[in-house]
Amino acid sequence: MKKTILAIAIVALISSCKKEETSPCNCGIVQSDNVSNYSVVIRNECTSNDKTFTLSQADWMNAYVGSRYCITNSGKW
């Protein structure tokens, strides 16, 4: 009986665990930038997808190529 309860408890623990994300999926590494329209291409840390974002001039000045940058008004891409 004890073995059955222990087995049920182990199965319940294993099935209830899920992997926590260590970083938000709206961040990535700036791959390139374009001064003519203040856009940057960012490679997502979670999916490795590239996406172009047009930023304000002030934000663009802080998004250096090779640096980590998060887009707050966009979900996972």
Q: Give dist(CA 50, CA 62) in Å, integer.
A: 19
Mean pLDDT is lowest, of 11-15, 33-37, 73-77, for 11-15
Closest CA to 67 of 19, 17, 21, 32: 32
Type of residue found at 2: K
Residue 36's pLDDT is what? 95
**Position with higher pLDDT, 12 vs 21:** 12
Q: Give dist(CA 27, CA 33) in Å, integer.
A: 16
Residue 47's pLDDT is what? 92
pLDDT per residue as tens digits for the range 36-65 = 999 999 999 999 999 999 999 999 999 999
Cβ-based neighbours of 77, under 8 Å, separated by 6 or more:
25, 26, 44, 47, 49, 51
pLDDT-derived band at 27, boundaries 50, 70, 90: very high
